[in-house]
Amino acid sequence: MNAVQAVAAGIHALPGAGQAFAVTQAAWRFWANPRVTLPALVEPLREAGRAAAAESASPYALLIHDWSKIDCASHRSKSDVTQLSHHLDHGYELATVLLVDAHDGAPLAPMGIRLRAADGDHTSEASSVEPVTPHLDQILPWMCKTDDWRLDRIAVHVIDREADSLKHLRAWDAEGRQFLVRANDRRTKFRGQSQLFSQITATLSQENAFTFTREVDLRGRRGRQFVAETEIVLSEPAWTRTAHGKKARVYGEPLSVRLVVAQVRDQQGTVLAEWWLLTNVSGAPADQIALWYYWRWRIESFHKLLKSSGLELEEWLQESAAAIAKRLLVACMTCVTAWRVARLESPEAKECQKFLVRLSGRQTKRKRPITTPALLAGLHQLLTTLAILDHYSLEQIRKFAALSLPAFRPSG
C-alpha cells in the first residue's frame, strides 16, 4: 500500500511484518515464483472492475487504451530494456486498458496490461512472453477479450489520435465493437462532397449547429464546452505497410460514423481546444460522447500515479520485465483501493477521506481537497498505525516520543 519515494523505491515493511530485509526477500521470491502468473494476478483487478461497473448508472462502460514509456536509463542492472523512441532511449513500454465509469468518469480498475521489453511483450493475457505487437494491432484482441470480462455493460473503447487509422476503424466496426477515437484533419465525404474536417467544422459553425453543454477545466483554465455533430462516410482507401516496410493502399467498404466536434472556448468565445471525434456508438448523445473523450485523461492520471505522483514505478529495483509486470499488477490493486475510497459518498466516508488526507501529510488545493495520491499515502500511514498499535501500547509510544523528540517538546 505504500506510496514510495524515489530514493526508497524498494518494498517497504510495516512495523509488525518482521525485518525489512526479510520482507524484501519474500517479495523477491514472490516475483520470481513461476507459479505466480500475470493472468492469475490480473483476476482480482477484473473482479473489482466487474463489481464497480455493476453499480454504474450508465448502460455503457468505457475502456480507455493508452501507452506510456517507463524510463530506466539510470538502472544499468536491468538487462532486458528495449529501445523506445531513438537509439539513446531505452526502457520499457506499458500498455494499459483502464475501465472507467461512463456515468461520472471515475476510474474503476486496470483490466489488462502489456509490458514491452527486449524479449517481447509480458501481458496479463498469457503466462509466457508474446511477440512484440504494434500499438493498434493490440486493440482488436483487447476488444475481443472484453467478452470474457463479463462487464454486463456496452463496452466503448476510447483511444487517442494515434488510433485514427481507417484500416483499424473498419476492422473494429466489422467485428461489432464500439469505439470512440480522436481524429486528425482528414478528408471525408460530407453531404455528398469531399471535405476536410476543418471545412465541415466551419460549415457547422455557420449553421449555428454548436450548442453549449457544460463548464470544463482545460490545463488549469476555466472554459465552456460546445458540441456539434453530423454523419459522415469514410470511403477513401486506408493505408498500411507491406512486409518490406513500404506504404500501400487498402480498399474497403465505406464506413458511416458520427463526427462529433467538441470545442472548449473562453468567455470571449476564443477556441482554446478542438477535438474531432469519430464514433460508431449510436445510443449516446453528442455531449455525452464529448464528455467520454474528456475523461480519457483518467488514464494519463493513472500512469502518473504509477510513476511520479505515487508509486515511483521508474525507480523500482526489480531487474527484469517479468518481475516488474507482476509488481505492477499488485501496485494496480493499491490504486483500485484508493479509487474505491474516493468514490464513497456517505458522511462517514467523507470524514474517512479527510482523515486519510490529513494522515498523509500531503498538501492539496482548496478546490480539490481529496486526491488519489494523498489517499494512497494516507492508506499506507493507516496500515502502519494499525500495525504499531497491535505491537505497542499507547503508553510505550508516548515514552518513545519523549525519548526521541525532546528538542521539540514545549518546556514547562
What per-residue confidence (pLDDT) applies to 3? Answer: 47
Q: Is residue 364 part of a domain?
A: yes
DSSP codes, 67-110: EEEEE-TT-TT-TT-EE-SSTT-EEEEEEEEEEEETTT--EEEE
- In the chain, how many domains are there? 1
Rg (CA), the chain: 24
Q: Is residue 204 part of a domain?
A: no
Q: Is residue 229 part of a domain?
A: no
Q: Is residue 75 part of a domain?
A: yes
CB 175 within 8 A of CB 146: no
Domain range for residue 351?
A: 1-160+296-403
Q: Is residue 387 part of a domain?
A: yes
Q: How far apart are CA 127 and CA 97, in angstroms?
A: 18
| Cα dihedral sign, 156-42-81-373 | positive
260 contacts: CB under 8 Å, gap ≥ 6: 227, 228, 229, 276, 277, 278, 279, 286, 289, 290
Residue in 337, 369, 339, 367 with CA at minimum distance from that of residue 101: 339
Element (H, E) at 407: none
| Cα dihedral sign, 130-9-335-326 | positive
Per residue in 165-195, pLDDT (tens digit) is 999 999 999 999 999 999 999 899 999 899 9
What per-residue confidence (pLDDT) applies to 257? Answer: 96
CB 30 within 8 A of CB 36: yes
What per-residue confidence (pLDDT) applies to 137? Answer: 94
Q: Per-10-residue mean pLDDT for the chain, 412 residues long? A: 49 58 79 90 96 96 96 80 82 96 96 96 94 94 94 96 94 96 93 93 96 88 93 88 79 93 92 95 95 95 88 86 93 94 93 92 84 90 87 89 72 56
Q: Is residue 87 part of a domain?
A: yes
Indicate the angle between helix axes 297-306 and 372-391, nearest 10 degrees: 40
What per-residue confidence (pLDDT) applies to 1? Answer: 42
What per-residue confidence (pLDDT) applies to 103? Answer: 96
